[in-house]
Amino acid sequence: MKTTGNSVSSGTFETVEPKELFKPTEPSVLFKLRKLQDYLHISTKPSRFIAREKEFKQVHDFIAKGMDTGKGDSMYVCGSPGVGKTLCLQFAVDTIKADPAYRTKIKVVQLNAMRLADPKDIYSTLYRLLGGRKGQGAPTTAVEYADAVKAMLSTEGKRGRDGGMTLIVVDEIDFLLSKAQTVLYRLFEWPRSRSSAMMLIGIANSIDLTNRFLPRLKQRFCEPKLLVFGAYNKDQLMDIVSQRIRESEREVEMASGNESDTADEDAPAALTYFQKAAVELCARKVASRSGDVRKCLDICGQCVQALEDQAGKEGREEEGDTADTQKPSLMVKVGDMMRCLSKTMGSPVEKTMKHLPAQQQTVLCVAAIVTKHQDDVKVYQLREQYLSMTKGYGLPRLSAAMFSDIVSALSVSGLVKVTSSKSARSKQRVVQEVTRLSQVAVCVAFDELRQVLAPLNTFFTKILDRGETSAN
């Protein structure tokens, strides 16, 4: 017997190449689809920040300038929901913290104002995040906390004495709006004080927040730098989806041991489970509506979920519980994308709610909360709840007559149903005769209303999140 290798075949040894002996296992289709769905989820942070290079540079340079000069300053970052504001800040901060020139000299404190029960709670929250002492001698009131935090953020504070700077990043900063705006004025004035060793970046949706609610900042030379994020266009949305697909494919390759050392991160993604025209259709549709990348990723994720369901079914029927063979039909095509888009974005009720005047949208939000917890709600009761929930936010106080007119308009739109003692008359007549004793019912499911109105304005989110407590 002649020895020529390490395996036996027909009485002889044959040479087997090592790469054949240890050939990586090809991941299943289900594994690939689940990994792709993970990467299309908005909570997954990509490895690189793309499609907002200009805005990223402005944020990075703002922080770097403050570190280089040692002078405090503030910036207000705004734009519609889902346009990359928060993610841009995260990448800019990570880049600064990774820079050897700044790594030991900067302390970053990030918080979301939406999580605060009261705007004044930001003082105690900052005090805790900055490492303020506890127990005896610690502040007990909002004013004491504010004074302590200001001292900690000055050149007399520990970090300031060492030549360092503190960066405060407040997401959803418009949740700090109050009747006198004391909290917001104080926050934006701190960086410009003579002994300041802090920078402030506030993030919100409203473009005119500082001009509308904080007009005295300009008079006091404390007006923040303004950075507006526009809506994503079709090409940017396609780039973001392609990046997510590419990173998903790369992780699958790593899991199978087939990763290429020369992989080009900027190479076009191989849209294994998407027709390019389908992705382009989704990007174009979302860009024309809102430019919200979250919506685009969510729609693509829904399409992948449908593929996953299909792959699981085919695998069970044809190959038991595994589906290791790629099927040519397993792909999101234009028709599939059109059906998903129609289901997600094509509701006539959604269009009606989106194009309502702001006052009608606000009343509709309040009505949804109140009627969710209470039956037989009358117009005068709804108005009382409206006045209670919107108190302190600078909204006009609606008279009983004006409020009835708004309820009438919502009834004409088919979004609410009004019942009165004259309900036997024609619909038009009943709508015209809405009274304080008329009963109101919302004709839109609460979850659908929330999905449509909450992204339009953080104030609506605030009502829908906190209004449940007020409604009880």
What secondary structure does DSSP assign to 69-92, as a single string? H---EEEEEEESTTSSHHHHHHHH
Taking only Cα atoms into account, the Rg of the chain, rounded to an integer number of angstroms, comes to 29
Q: Is 229 helix (H, G, I), strand (E, B) or coil?
A: strand
pTM: predicted TM-score of the whole model, two decimal places = 0.68
Which class in CATH covers the domain with range 351-471? mainly alpha
User: What does the pLDDT read at residue 447?
Assistant: 76
Name the least confident of 54-58, 133-137, 188-192.
Answer: 133-137
Q: Over the stretch 347-401, which tens digit does the pLDDT of each residue have?
A: 677 778 888 888 899 999 999 889 888 888 899 999 998 888 888 777 778 888 8
For domain 53-229, give the fold.
Rossmann fold (3.40.50)
Helix axes 446-453, 358-373, angle to 10 degrees: 150
Number of DSSP helices (H) and strands (E) in the chain, helices first: 21, 10
pLDDT of 345 strictly over 80? no
**Share in percent of the chain as helix, strand, coil (round to 5):** 55, 10, 35
Q: List the chain domain ranges.
A: 27-43+234-346, 53-229, 351-471
Q: What is the mean pLDDT of residues 216-221?
A: 92
Q: Which pair of tokens denotes residue 468?
A: 């449940």
Strand extents, DSSP E, 48-152: 73-79, 106-112
- Identity of the amino acid at 244: R
Length of the chain measured in residues:
472
Q: Which pair of tokens denotes residue 415?
A: 């979004």
User: What does the pLDDT read at residue 396?
Assistant: 76
Q: What is the mean pLDDT of residues 196-205?
A: 96
Q: Over the stretch 16-56, which tens digit does the pLDDT of each residue have?
A: 444 444 445 567 888 899 999 999 999 999 999 999 999 99
Question: What is the pLDDT confidence band of residue 129, given thresholds at 50, 70 and 90?
Answer: very high
Name the least confident of 8-12, 113-117, 328-332, 447-451.
Answer: 8-12
* Cβ–Cβ under 8 Å, residues 165 and 67: yes
User: What does the pLDDT read at residue 329?
Assistant: 67
Question: What is the pLDDT confidence band of residue 8, given thresholds at 50, 70 and 90?
Answer: very low
351-471 shares the fold of 53-229: no
Q: Which pair of tokens denotes residue 393?
A: 């936010």
User: What does the pLDDT read at residue 186?
Assistant: 96
User: What does the pLDDT read at residue 295?
Assistant: 93
